[in-house]
Amino acid sequence: MSPDSIKTENTENVGDQEQINNLIISDWGMEPKRYNYQVNVTDPENKSIGLGKYTVYLVSGVTPDGHNFSTRKRYSDFEWLRSTLVIQFPGVFIPPIPKKKKVGRFEKDFIEFRRRYLEEFLRRVFNRGYLISSNLVRTWLNRSDSGMETLKKEEANRPLFDIVTQYFSSFDNVLSTDNPNSRPGKPSNRFSVPTVDISPISEFSNRLENHFIQLEQLSEHLNTITSSYNRAHISFKEIPSLFHNISLNNTNNESRLDLSSIFQNLYNINSNSSQRHFDMLYSIIAREMNDTECMLEAVQTLEKMQCLLNTNNSAMQYSDEVNSGDLRSNSFANSNISNSSITSVVSSAAKGLVSGFSLFSSKTREGSFTSDANLSKLDRYREDQSALKTLLSAGRVVLIVHEMPHFFSEKINIFNETIQEFIIRQSQSSNIENEFWSRVLNKLKSLNQYNDNLQGQNTYHDEFYTNDSRNYVNNQYNKGNNTNEWGYEGYDY
């Protein structure tokens, strides 16, 4: 799957990405908590509406400023919240949520996986002050299940003026013209945007795409490794009993060494991590892939906003030649790129913008950039175009000054800590196995010396060792014997 085919819209993604998501069960690679808050997603409950079925979760906790909340939400509510945040915060990384799944949605393991991932999503939202302080998130946390449809309608009709105002308030320190990353210039109004060089955005986008491809290749290798270790571990579980049965069912009175205890101890050693700790790396890589996908989405959203502006500008130029009352029916129908064609060419990352920012898409929209209710339809259109352009400019500045420098740097510590822990655990596992096999080797050498002594007494003949000696040795490593000398009774990491 290439970055161009990344799906972030409300579609049902299955296949390789689903396998990756299902392995993000451990906490490795998880973003650390930054503020004092509590957020929990608990108590999943399956419900039915007609022939349909869905799962609701209890979302509760305390916001960083001390406000309690408790409400029930279904997966589609989380999905809507995230897609709306993408629209209202262009150029900003919005944490991922688990992908949809076609089958097995109500299996216990998947519900638990989704619950943990949705909780992680909210924790990451709470980690970002500009998101948790937004009206959208605060209202969402306190809106009941029955009030969600009303909230969705309210946000769909939210004036662009409010969205721009919120954006500038959230990133006031970044958008200030006193910012050292901006070029000198005096603000002309409250929505002035500092001038920055936007050329690094293209390079950053290419870097993300290449990073995603490399992560995808690495995840495939890690998937092969972890799957192989899992299969080997399952095989080891059956080997001890098979060896023990062979020893007990010997019908030819041949002397056989019962190796069941050796493999049982080896199985116990590997039970601490059947995947040899490679699942730690898989977990952090899977999270990194999802985050890279979301960062690409933030960049692509700005690109599609520019596309939308270009298209609307073409429509507005044409509208100067027709009656303003025919703007919707004529200019959009005759412009080079129609509104419907935009939907087909923009990526999933920005499809929400088409419905969210297509002016005149809602007959009930009452606001504009100036919030002046006395504007004509064409003037309102132009004001909203100005608002969209301002939001695009602000989004580019926030992306360059705030998001790009932190996206990779914040992950370095998490990655380094995981790698260091992986190396420590691998070393411990290797030392334990080395010690175990050393004891097995020493024991076999002692048995060999014992048999050599028997040979010197002409009592060994052609057998590996006599029945009497076999019984003595087997008693020393018999399965479950507390005097087992073939391995260890416990393995602590």
Q: Long-range contacts of range 440-445, CB-CB < 8 Å, 24 or more positions apart?
A: 440/262, 440/486, 440/487, 443/477, 443/485, 443/486
HSE toward the beta carbon, residue 134, CA cutoff 13 A:
27
Closest residue by Cα to residue 113 from 38, 18, 14: 18
Task: Give strand ranges (E) for 63-139.
Answer: 68-74
Q: Residue 370 — very low, low, confident or very high, per pLDDT cuts 50/70/90?
A: low
What is the residue-averaged pLDDT of the chain? 76
Q: Residue 106 — very low, low, confident or very high, per pLDDT cuts 50/70/90?
A: confident
Q: What is the pLDDT of residues 72-100, one digit of tens each?
A: 999 999 999 999 999 999 999 999 999 88
CB 282 within 8 A of CB 28: no
Give the bridge partners for 314, in sequence order.
none
CA dihedral sign of residues 107, 113, 119, 124: negative
Closest residue by Cα to residue 58 from 67, 77, 71, 74: 71
The whole-number average pLDDT for the span 236-264 is: 76
Percentage of the chain lying above the pLDDT 70 cut = 69
Q: Is the pLDDT assigned to residue 355 strictly greater than 60?
A: no
Q: Running DSSP on this structure, what letter comes out for residue 184? A: P
d(CA 188, CA 195): 13
Residue corresponding to tokens 């024991």:
443
CB 490 within 8 A of CB 483: no
pLDDT value for 69:
97
Q: Which residue type sits at 223?
A: N
Q: Residue 189 — very low, low, confident or very high, per pLDDT cuts 50/70/90?
A: low
Q: How far is CA 392 from the centre of its chain?
A: 26
Percentage of the chain lying above the pLDDT 90 cut = 35
pLDDT value for 291:
95
Domain ranges of the chain: 3-197
CB 96 within 8 A of CB 291: yes
| Higher pLDDT among residues 270 and 196, named by residue | 196
> In a 10 Å sphere around its CB, with 0-12 CB exposed, 13-18 middle and 19+ buried, how is residue 173 labelled?
exposed
d(CA 474, CA 467): 10
CB 387 within 8 A of CB 160: yes
Q: What is the pLDDT of residues 413-429, one digit of tens each?
A: 888 888 999 999 888 88
pLDDT value for 179:
55
Q: Is the pLDDT assigned to residue 129 strictly greater than 60?
A: yes
| Topology given in CATH for the domain delimited by 3-197 | PX Domain (3.30.1520)
Angle, helices 377-398/278-319, rounded to nearest 10 degrees: 150
For residue 39, give the 3-state DSSP assignment.
strand
The whole-number average pLDDT for the span 459-464 is: 41
| Higher pLDDT among residues 227 and 345, named by residue | 227
Beta strands at 38-49 and 52-62: parallel, antiparallel or unpaired: antiparallel
